[in-house]
Amino acid sequence: MDGIHDMGGMDGFGPIPIEYNEPVFHAEWEGRLYAMNSALGALGEWNIDAGRACMERLAPVVYLQSPYYQRWLYRMENILVERGLVTPTELTAGTPEGAAREPLSTDEVFGRLRASRSARVDQPVEAKFKVGDAVLVRNIHPVGHTRTPRYVRGRRGVIDRDHGVFIFPDTHAEFKGESPQHLYSVRFTARELWGPDASETDKVYLDMWDDYLDAD
């Protein structure tokens, strides 16, 4: 979706907020939220693409006004309801309506996280492109999740390397299958993306799936 999360190239956010010697978590609740996210992830009720899609559905003004882990909180509440693990009433009341299940133990959580599979798919899928091919990123505007940022759509690049076959996030995010296909590192010149005032030597690389690309 053409959401606020797609920030590449936007102006107006100011300087980089560099903090030296920063702690891992700036408050205890951030750590609890981070841990809840990992432990819930181990339940396997959603995948990483669905989690990102849920974040992207936050209203733009909420997204912009909320610090990082606060966005995680809103996303967690929303996806728990969407996946039917928690009801809106339970969220409001803070108490469960039905019987409790047996939670995963610490060892089970870590075991499942360690065993979580890569997005690489071990299937023989034919590649549409080879290293060195000129490609044009499709001018697509899907209403659902996509990993093709606006700033590369309609731009020309070159296949720099073929990473092999990977899960396609656009369908996976909506629980519509893995649609395994080749994933490439695509090289763009800074001038192709940002115009004649950009550096003539600099490059930008993005990982792009077959379904994002046409031959140029």
Partner 1 sequence: MTNHDDHSHLSDTELRVRSLESLLVDKGLVDPAALDAIVDRYENKVGPRNGARVVARAWSDPAFKKHLLEDASAAIDSLGYTSTQGVDMLVLENTPSVHNVTVCSLCSCYPWAVLGLPPAWYKSFPYRARAVKDPRGVLREFGLELAPEVEVRVWDSTAELRYIVLPERPEGTEGFTEEELAELVTRNSMIGTEKAANPNAGDS
Q: How far is the CB of 172 from partner 1 (least distance, A)?
A: 10
CB-count burial class (<10 Å; 0-12, 13-18, 19+) for 9: exposed
Q: How far is the CB of 199 from partner 1 (least distance, A)?
A: 7
* Long-range pairs, 113-122, Cβ under 8 A, ≥24: 113/38, 113/41, 113/42, 116/41, 119/48, 119/166, 119/167, 120/163, 120/164, 120/165, 120/166, 121/165, 121/166, 121/167, 121/178, 121/180, 122/165
Residues 36, 73 contacting (CB under 8 angstroms) = no
> From residue 127 to residue 166, what is the string marking binding to partner 1 with x (rule CB under 8 A)?
--------------------xxx-x-----------x--x
Pick from 39, 125, 127, 136 the residue near partner 1 by CB under 8 A: 39
Examine residue 173 and tell whether it contacts partner 1 (CB under 8 A).
no
Examine residue 91 and tell whether it contacts partner 1 (CB under 8 A).
yes
Pick from 26, 130, 141, 176 the residue near partner 1 by CB under 8 A: 26
φ and ψ of 9, to 5 deg:
95, -5
Q: How far is the CB of 5 from partner 1 (least distance, A)?
A: 6
Examine residue 11 and tell whether it contacts partner 1 (CB under 8 A).
yes
- In single-letter form, the type of residue at position 133 comes to D
Q: How far is the CB of 42 from partner 1 (least distance, A)?
A: 8
What is the rounded distance in angstroms from the CA atom of residue 171 to the CA atom of residue 200?
A: 36
Q: How far is the CB of 143 from partner 1 (least distance, A)?
A: 16
Pick from 25, 136, 162, 192 the residue near partner 1 by CB under 8 A: 25
- In single-letter form, the type of residue at position 142 comes to P
Examine residue 193 and tell whether it contacts partner 1 (CB under 8 A).
yes
φ and ψ of 214, to 5 deg:
-120, 155
What is the rounded distance in angstroms from the CA atom of residue 149 to the CA atom of residue 141?
A: 10
Pick from 54, 79, 109, 213 the residue near partner 1 by CB under 8 A: 109
Pick from 1, 86, 127, 136 the residue near partner 1 by CB under 8 A: 86
Q: How far is the CB of 102 from partner 1 (least distance, A)?
A: 6
